[in-house]
Structure 1
Amino acid sequence: MKPSHFLVRLNSADCITLFGLLFSAIAMVCALNQQLLLSVSWLFLAMLADALDGIWARRNKLVRAFGRYLDGFMDQLIYLISPAVVLYLSGFDGYWSLFLLLMIACGSIRLSVFNEVGNIEGSSGLSYLGMPVFWSLFILSAYLLLRFVLPPLSGYLLLSVTLLLFSIAMLWRRPFYKFKHLSVIIGITLSGAFTFFWLHFRGFCVV
């Protein structure tokens, strides 16, 4: 095969992975325009792309080291940087943002370990070693929904404790459940995307 002029040839799984970059970029633009609920809906779509790329790669024998590294970079953007930006812009700033830095640091370490060891065998089949970073999106979603009923200070305190425990759990040496059924993954991600799209277009906002 003739050598490529470029560093790498992207396959179809890599292209699905890069949809996560596109959706995350749209989410960041929405967040910077204070459309926080709409931003979360785009992150759920990025989560869907992140889930589908691995499934597609395994089914079509496209698994390779480059894909794992690319996926790890996208995970960092989708589940660590983007949620941190949304939370910061929601008012979780100042000293509170130290918990965001902790989440990003622990999540980055966990993703680096995952690139080395991958999934592990648990009691229910393939599992994650350490709590997976994608739970940050569920934490972000729950926090924004609770902000409709909680005063800001109560929300900040609850989020601080949650992020602290989440950061510790990401580095905890124990198996964590891995979603395995495609129908469940699609159902969760599309339900999340639809819910936050609906809240945004119904005029709800986080104050």
Structure 2
Amino acid sequence: MEKILVETSAKHIHLSQADLEALFGEGYELTKFKDLSQPGQYAAEEKVTVVGPRNEATMRVLGPVRKESQVELAATDARTLGFKAPVRESGDLEGTPGCVLKGPKGEITIEKGVIIAKRHIHFSTEDAQHFGVENGQIVSVKVETADRSLTFGDVVCRVSDKYALAMHIDTDESNAAGAPKEGEIIK
């Protein structure tokens, strides 16, 4: 069977333009640190401090700016910081906890946006047709590593011509599976 790239996504934050300016100054623009696998996405030089009920952590900002700010954590990160964060798809922020964000030029409180990102696969329309999947479809992905092979269930397929084929899992999931680099879709 054909393999797909599996990437590990560490804790990070996406900011709206208004929140970016509140934290870094009026008219501020993100500075690209390195490109990510998804077209147009990048890790920025900028970092912010996320303050949780129990602890705080400095996290890298990912660009470009978004409509709404959101903090993406692994379950271990959420527990360490003291959040009861739900597993959600990116952008599905209703009913999620908020937090305080600290930057070099200011501090703000976001009312919602702290999530544990649901594992997912990005497909271009062409890739989705090739693999026979549709946007929103749930699949499983089998990963084989030297000593921690497993099958991830409840993997959501996300289809857009803006995407490049890659599965994203968080650091907890990656560690549980021995840091897999590729996987096989099982429907």
TM bucket, shorter chain? under 0.3
Greater helix fraction, Structure 1 or Structure 2: 1
Greater strand fraction, Structure 1 or Structure 2: 2
